[in-house]
Structure 1
Amino acid sequence: MPVELKPTFTELCDGSIDRYRHGRVLLAAHVIALFRVDRDWATEHLLPHFDWQLSEHEARAAWEGFLWSPRLYRPLMEALKGPFLESARHYETLDKHRVQYASLLTFAALDPGDTFTSSELARAVRALPPEGLRYAANALVNALEGAGDQRADYWRNRVTPFINNLWPKGHDVMTPVIAEALSRLCVAAGGAFSEAIVMLRAWLQPLGHPGTAVRMLHKADLCRTFPEHALDFLSLVIGEQTQWPPAELSECLEAIRTTAPALEEDPRHEQLLTYLRLHGRV
């Protein structure tokens, strides 16, 4: 760090001076760069402001600054591991940066390396409220979609351990919004769609607006690749609560019927056709 800047930055990090808090927020936004340039200075003067145990007000400000544009820089995460994980218990305090935190925690859990243990991550993920879990599920979808042709492997090697080891199992978090996110997660698994359905089936439920998930299902041509599991999926996410048939539902059922003709006699297929007829879509 330039010698001429260090005294100014050090003064800004004086937590006893409230009027400098906005300056500390800006420093926190650049903590990765500062940590890389002068680890000793950052560790002594800046990182303590991220510690919820020392000051909740200071920690909230520091994390808000960092979460403006968060990145997983492993050496910094090792230094901030405790406060980072504890932020899950202060989720509501993070205000408009809650989405970024839930997403960052999810990406950290997908590639924990030697920084985090499974039990540490499980405590943090399970401390998230339902809203945070929805954002975590959205982050899983984004991660899978970003895996491209490697989606199936990513599902098996990254997402499956996340669901098995970290995701909460209580019925109190089986909300419609989480079910919607997990329905998209199933489809995002691509070549591992059948495995995803088996794993997440208990979480799926009739949705008010399943259009996005059904559109993804149709676009990925999973009804032809996995007709049995696709039919099961559609029967789970479409029901009395569904306000209007998804535009692609008829095409999905046709793809299932032509690929696996025997499924046309399946009660689930018949029920979905009846649903379409009731809404004048057949």
Structure 2
Amino acid sequence: MGRFNGAYFSAPESYEVLPAFVSSGIFWEHDICREVLFYLGDRWDDFTSEQRTEVAQLLLQGPDEVRGDENRYASRLEKDRGLLYLQWLLLQGKALPKIILKSFRRKIAEIPDWDETFAENLTNYDGLLAINVEADESTESLSDLPINAITDRAISMQRADYFSGLDPRPFDGLVKENPRKALAALSHASKNGNYPKLLWAALLRHWPEAASLRLTGVLAERLARLPENFVVEIKDPFARWLEKWFGFGFRSSEDRMLRVFDHLMHGILEAAQNQDDPGVGHNTDRIKSPHSHATNHPVGILAQTLVRFVSSRERLEKGGIHEEFSERLELLLDAPAKSGESAAAVLAHSISQLYLLSPAWVFQHLMPRMKFEHPHSSASWHGFLSSAHIPNSDLMMRLKPTFQDLFPRIYAWHWEDGATRIASQMVVALAIKRSGGEALLQPKEARHCIRNMTNQNRKDAVEHLRRVGVESEGAWSTSVIPFIENVWPRDVRLKTATLTMAWVSLLERTGDSFLLTLRTLRKFLVPVERESHWLYSFSRAARGAPLTMKYPEGVLELLALLFSRHTRRAPYELAQILDLIEEASSELAGDGRFLRLQGLVEST
């Protein structure tokens, strides 16, 4: 892997790629730690205050993914890596924005054994973060022990010997090799009121596929008897275990698996009622990506478990959502705050499947949550859009009154993923006439949505139009051009350079429909001042001849629209495109538009 060297870039250039680099996995890798910190130290004072705040905020958040089990020394060091980077910057005399410094001090105050010498060693070749820690799942230390001694030995070995590079996890190995013995050891400990959290979590995470139906049933019975307060402590691995094994165990005993499900559900819901943080200990900002967080929230996982089960082929054949499942889904939806939002996001994501099972249940329990006045509306719409699926026309028409007002309300939810892009593209899909039917959004309704989009989302809508034209035979003339002519707003404020570049990108893929599409788009194009390679495809093509050779006069017309008499600089490809136009049609070299553009090239 190549090294990162910030010296190759000026401060503005390096900052342009820095946020994406910090968000990548590469930034946090051990072997470039020194280069990354030296780069940050060298460039920190050159960044603007806004840029320092943005980068420091990313460091405060830390790596996107933290591997391993909680309460392990190695995992915690991974989780706190961003804090160590900030500490290193402070030790170098670099100033942090006040708001970041306050959050940083609050976070390190919550870490009992925080030691800034860890940060001092980051740039030493023998620094702590240069050591890789590997899990050692050898069961040799447990294999000869009696059942009543296994948990104590496993717990005593639980802390990683970080400097040896090994993290002993013999109990993980025991679960995989001999799940019966691992379960027996935990069952024996429970008789004495001892419930080691990490060992139960390991049992649930690593329960092997090869385990028999009978042994899995025994585990389910043990889970149903765990103390409710302890169930909440292991809620995450417990929920994941149910998600994986619910259907398998249900075949053996419906009553037992429902008791296990209820035991976890009631424990989580009661804890949610009694805590100030209704997320039951989940420290995530769900507003940025509600469905993504819902699928990692125990209530969301439980909802997903039931949805997948009731949507399975076997259950679909029986029809409907049986009361034993619908009642539990309703309890999850009615959970307080973030827990209920997680259930709503997951169920809205699967609204089409649930509608096939029971339209009445969907109308009664999910549709009200899609209304903007409902506290679950953001989570519900995010879940729905994240499926990237347009439901059948009956359900879509029920959603339409709210859907057509999504823009601009959608921006108040501050999502930070692709859901708004999907919404903008769905507007296009719904406004295009379906084969054998009418469009689900009328032109006036779609125009209302487009007018209230951001410029970026209008670009996303144009991108979807391009995809429609490319992927469906004859769609340029039957779908794309009619949409542009009849639906796309003609407001002057929407005729921007950014959108013009999106329209040009669409034109690049029109093939034999280039002239017809250009004629339709003329009224939406404005001059663009840009030097980068945005006209590349008109100078050369990946396959065959570029459009310029086939339609030289059409391309000349396009160029004349893009570059006015006031344009100061020609893009890199303009000279090549003009040469191709002359090659394809020599008489165009005397055209006034050609001569004007040639003059622009010569003056640049």
TM over 0.5: yes
> Residue 233 of structure 1 aligns to which amino acid in structure 2?
L
Say yes or no: does 1:88 pair with 2:407.
yes
Aligned-residue CA RMSD (Å): 2.4
- 1:161-172 alignment runs, 5 A limit: 161-172=482-493
Say yes or no: does 1:79 pair with 2:404.
no
Q: Find the residue that maps to 1:33 and give its secondary structure.
A: helix
Say yes or no: does 1:49 pair with 2:369.
yes
Distance 1:208 1:235 in 2: 13
Q: Find the residue that maps to 2:376 and give its secondary structure.
A: helix
Per-residue Cα deviation, 1:101-147 (whole angstroms, up to 9, x for no partner): 10111112123543333333333333334333222112212222223
CA contact (8 A) 1:125 1:166 kept: no
- 1:273 is displaced (CA, Å) by 2.5
- 1:242 is displaced (CA, Å) by 7.0
- 1:134-153 alignment runs, 5 A limit: 134-147=459-472, 150=473, 153=474
> Residue 340 of structure 2 aligns to which amino acid in structure 1?
Y
> Residue 366 of structure 2 aligns to which amino acid in structure 1?
L
- 1:208 is displaced (CA, Å) by 3.4
- 1:27 is displaced (CA, Å) by 1.3
Say yes or no: does 1:109 pair with 2:431.
yes
Partner of residue 246 from structure 1, selected from 572, 575, 579: 572
> Residue 353 of structure 2 aligns to which amino acid in structure 1?
A
Greater C-alpha Rg: 2
Partner of residue 158 from structure 1, selected from 474, 479, 490: 479
- TM-score of the two chains, using structure 2 as the length reference: 0.42
Gaps of 5+ in 1: none
- Structure with greater helix share of residues: 1
Gaps of 5+ in 2: 1-320
CA contact (8 A) 2:533 2:571 kept: no
Distance 1:110 1:216 in 2: 28
Distance 2:465 2:533 in 1: 16
Q: Find the residue that maps to 2:571 and give its secondary structure.
A: coil
CA contact (8 A) 1:137 1:185 kept: yes
Bigger drift between 112-121 and 166-175 goes to 112-121
Q: Residue 232 of structure 1 corresponds to which residue in structure 2?
A: 557
Per-residue Cα deviation, 1:159-218 (whole angstroms, up to 9, x for no partner): 122112211111111122111111222333221211222222232223233756522334
Distance 2:410 2:600 in 1: 41
Q: Find the residue that maps to 2:518 and give its secondary structure.
A: helix
In structure 2, do the counterparts of structure 1 residues 124 and 79 end up closer, same or farther at CA, with 3 Å as the change threshold?
Answer: same
Partner of residue 20 from structure 1, selected from 331, 336, 340: 340
In structure 2, do the counterparts of structure 1 residues 64 and 278 end up closer, same or farther at CA, with 3 Å as the change threshold?
Answer: same
CA contact (8 A) 2:447 2:487 kept: yes
Bigger drift between 103-112 and 211-220 goes to 211-220
Distance 1:217 1:210 in 2: 15
Q: Find the residue that maps to 1:32 and give its secondary structure.
A: helix
Q: Residue 58 of structure 1 corresponds to which residue in structure 2?
A: 376
- 1:262 is displaced (CA, Å) by 0.7
Q: Find the residue that maps to 2:356 and give its secondary structure.
A: helix
- 1:187-266 alignment runs, 5 A limit: 187-209=508-530, 213-218=534-539, 219=541, 221-238=546-563, 245-247=571-573, 249-266=574-591
Q: Find the residue that maps to 2:397 and give its secondary structure.
A: helix
In structure 2, do the counterparts of structure 1 residues 49 and 236 end up closer, same or farther at CA, with 3 Å as the change threshold?
Answer: same
Q: Find the residue that maps to 1:197 and give its secondary structure.
A: helix
Q: Residue 206 of structure 2 corresponds to which residue in structure 1?
A: none
Q: Find the residue that maps to 1:67 and give its secondary structure.
A: helix
Distance 2:430 2:568 in 1: 35
Higher relative contact order (CA 8 A, sep 6+): 1
CA contact (8 A) 2:490 2:524 kept: no
Aligned length: 271
Distance 1:74 1:122 in 2: 22
In structure 2, do the counterparts of structure 1 residues 59 and 173 end up closer, same or farther at CA, with 3 Å as the change threshold?
Answer: same
Q: Percent identity?
A: 22
- 1:50 is displaced (CA, Å) by 1.0
Q: Residue 445 of structure 2 corresponds to which residue in structure 1?
A: 120
Per-residue Cα deviation, 1:226-272 (whole angstroms, up to 9, x for no partner): 1111011122224565766234x333222211221110111222233
In structure 2, do the counterparts of structure 1 residues 160 and 194 end up closer, same or farther at CA, with 3 Å as the change threshold?
Answer: same
- 1:13 is displaced (CA, Å) by 2.8
CA contact (8 A) 2:352 2:392 kept: no
Q: Find the residue that maps to 2:535 and give its secondary structure.
A: helix
CA contact (8 A) 1:125 1:167 kept: yes
In structure 2, do the counterparts of structure 1 residues 81 and 180 end up closer, same or farther at CA, with 3 Å as the change threshold?
Answer: same
- 1:65 is displaced (CA, Å) by 1.2
Q: Residue 273 of structure 2 corresponds to which residue in structure 1?
A: none
CA contact (8 A) 1:134 1:178 kept: yes
> Residue 156 of structure 1 aligns to which amino acid in structure 2?
S
Distance 2:538 2:410 in 1: 33
Distance 2:478 2:371 in 1: 32
Q: Find the residue that maps to 1:72 and give its secondary structure.
A: coil
Distance 2:530 2:329 in 1: 50
Per-residue Cα deviation, 1:24-43 (whole angstroms, up to 9, x for no partner): 11111222222222222112
